[in-house]
Structure 1
């Protein structure tokens, strides 16, 4: 077993690193622009490269020491859009670990435009080294012990409905389509009295890592999907506005924060709540995630996302637009004007 040295840990928590990365082709859904989910993937990959540079790659940490590397808090602001074939220069700067043993980092992504390097993305992240309990427990080196947690989210405050007793409905079987936004007693509780949309969905294997846990990438995919369903439910689906106006949704800010762990094949309740429409230009929404265990709600994550719309003028250029009455009414949950 390779030894974890004090020098490796010192490099991890004190040394800035830089790496070049390209966004993945999958993230380009409209023209050649890269969506927020894949921008966040770049941030996550930069952090993984930082661990590798210190000699503490995620594979080594898990296979040798039984530690799963999880990005458990990611707050990202996008200042300039990425396109296919762009190269990002990612700079990772460690921050002092907080009182809860989580490792902190700031990440900046730079991109070249017209011969100049621009700051395209800024992000703040926290990383947990979670002790694996699925397999036989491994010995954790003393140099890493202060950064490990027995369970993700044990140090965070639960949400409003956390611990509430609930009755569940068996409506996520394969014969039922694996998910629902329809009648469900838990969704009814979570949505009551709010300008929100809810979706119940069975967590599949491809969204998980370290044998059973829903990964950061899975939550990001879930945010993207619930926005898609919310817009369709409000009568302004992405395809509708794309066809009618050549409008595309843009995301200048997103955040995901883990509060607990969500496990493979559990039913995940995702609640998307519109909080504010700002000057008919952007809207902010909160996304909360829950599972039900032993008849009680457990909130596993929360986050926020800021959305706007852009109209594309050609295959390369776009500009932001102001919401019209139809779109504002949809965001506010009001009936369309006639």
Structure 2
């Protein structure tokens, strides 16, 4: 049995760890470049390994103490593109300086290319230890971890009263009214969940990627359309997501992708908000943002950033021009 000791918790909260990470083959969708979702998976793996190295692996925390390790915040900047088969070193620095009930980390991922070491990714992550209530109680939470244990994700935040919802068939229209936005309703399947009942961070990252895909397709500039027309691919220099509440397996999730601003025809920032309908009210379960640009494929190894043309700007802004 894993024993939670003062030494293990001190190491978790004060010791810097390093681990080797490699992107998964699945994340290479266009040529050999790795998308933002899988870059965030590398960040997640580094944090999980930090817990392992401290002697507090996620499996033992759950099986022995009924504590589910949940990433509740991930805020990532991508400074250099990852490629298939890249091997990188991830450094995890504890960052728990306040008493907000979460465990914080700063993650930096570096790789070597052509004899030069590049800082490829920086990320800020926060973790909650969620007390399992699906199965019988596991006993008292170890004293050393009690300040990070929550009965429900989002308990470290000041909750706002949920907004009264319109009739169910009018929810999507209400969420997008007067906004440059696209929304859809989606039933949460079990592959997006963990600890038996709730959607996990990687599930939200997958939905953020899907939101981009759905939005541009709705605006007539789908991923494949711009690939075929001009060999343009979307790139993401930054993304962030924060879990505010819990969304449960087989609940309907209402997802809103809205454009907030376009910066110098070079990048645009979109917000994503996630809601569930409970007791006649819309409860926001997560919120985040994603910055997008475009790059042109130059060859099988290289790409370069491009400015938006008028067609893309109009599509992003939801404007239709007469030909």
The answer to whether the Cα contact below 8 Å between 1:207 and 1:214 also exists between their aligned partners in 2 is yes
Pair 1:209 & 2:194 matched? yes
Please list the CA deviations of residues 48-81 of structure 1 after superposition, one character each: whole Å capped at 9, or x if unmatched.
0000000000000000000000010000000000
C-alpha separation in 2, matches of 1:336 and 1:35: 32
After TM superposition, list the pairs within 5 Å mapping 1:243-262 onto structure 2: 243-262=228-247
Give 1:26-41 correspondences, 5 Å limit.
26-41=26-41
1:44 Cα shift?
Answer: 0.2
Question: Separation in 2 of the partners of 1:97 and 1:261?
Answer: 25
Distance in 1, Cα, partners of 2:260 & 2:249: 30
Give yes or no for the alignment of 1:324 onto 2:309. yes
Q: Report if the CA contact (8 A) 2:70-2:128 is conserved.
A: yes
CA–CA separation in structure 2 for the residues paired with 1:114 and 1:240: 34
User: Contact 1:285 / 1:304 at 8 angstroms: preserved in 2?
Assistant: yes
Separation in 2 of the partners of 1:189 and 1:215? 27
Q: Does 1:94 align with 2:79?
A: no
Q: Residue 29 of structure 2: SS of its match in structure 1?
A: strand
Structure 1: distance between partners of 2:197 and 2:97: 26
Indicate yes or no: 2:156 matched with 1:155: yes
CA contact 2:101–2:156 (8 Å) conserved in 1:
no
Instruction: Quote the residue 1:180 is aligned against.
Output: none
SS of 2:3's partner is coil
The residue number in structure 1 matching 2:165 is 166
The residue aligned with 1:315 is 300
Structure 1 unaligned blocks of 5 or more: 170-183
Aligned pair in 2 of structure 1 residues 332, 157: CA closer, same or farther (>3 Å)? Answer: farther
More displaced 10-residue stretch of structure 1: 50-59 or 88-97: 88-97
**Separation (CA, whole Å) in 2 of partners of 1:157 and 1:193:** 28
TM-score scaled by length of structure 2? 0.98
C-alpha distance in 1, partners of 2:298/2:92? 35
In the TM superposition, residue 158 of structure 1 has moved relative to its aligned partner by: 4.9
The equivalent of 2:145 in structure 1 is 144
- In structure 2, do the counterparts of structure 1 residues 327 and 337 end up closer, same or farther at CA, with 3 Å as the change threshold? farther
| TM-aligned CA deviation for residue 336 of structure 1 | 3.9
CA distance in 2, matches of 1:84, 1:187: 38
Tell me: CA distance 1:43–1:337, structure 2 relative to 1, closer, same or farther (3 Å): farther
Structure 1 residue 149: deviation in Å? 1.1
8 Å CA contact 1:199, 1:226 repeated in 2: no
Deviation of 1:97 (Å): 4.7
Structure 1 runs (4+) deviating above 6 angstroms are: none
Distance 1:317 1:167, change over 3 A: same
Q: Which of 225, 238, 242 is 2:227 aligned to?
A: 242
Residue 117 of structure 1 pairs with residue 117 of structure 2: yes
* Aligned mate of 2:216, from 231, 240, 243: 231
2:286 to 284, 297, 301: 301
Larger mean Cα displacement after TM superposition, 107-116 or 34-43: 107-116
In structure 2, the residue corresponding to 1:30 is in which secondary structure? Answer: coil
User: Do residues 3 (structure 1) and 3 (structure 2) align?
Assistant: yes
Q: Is the 8 A contact 1:330 1:336 kept in 2?
A: no
**Within 2, Cα distance between the matches of 1:267 and 1:219?**
14
Structure 2: runs of 5 or more not aligned:
none
The residue number in structure 2 matching 1:18 is: 18
Offset at 1:100? 2.0
Q: Does 1:278 align with 2:263?
A: yes
Cα shift readout 1:212-237 (whole Å, capped 9, x = no counterpart) = 11000000000111110000000000
Q: CA deviation at 1:167?
A: 4.3
Deviation at 1:314, TM superposition (A): 0.3
Give 1:45's aligned residue: 45
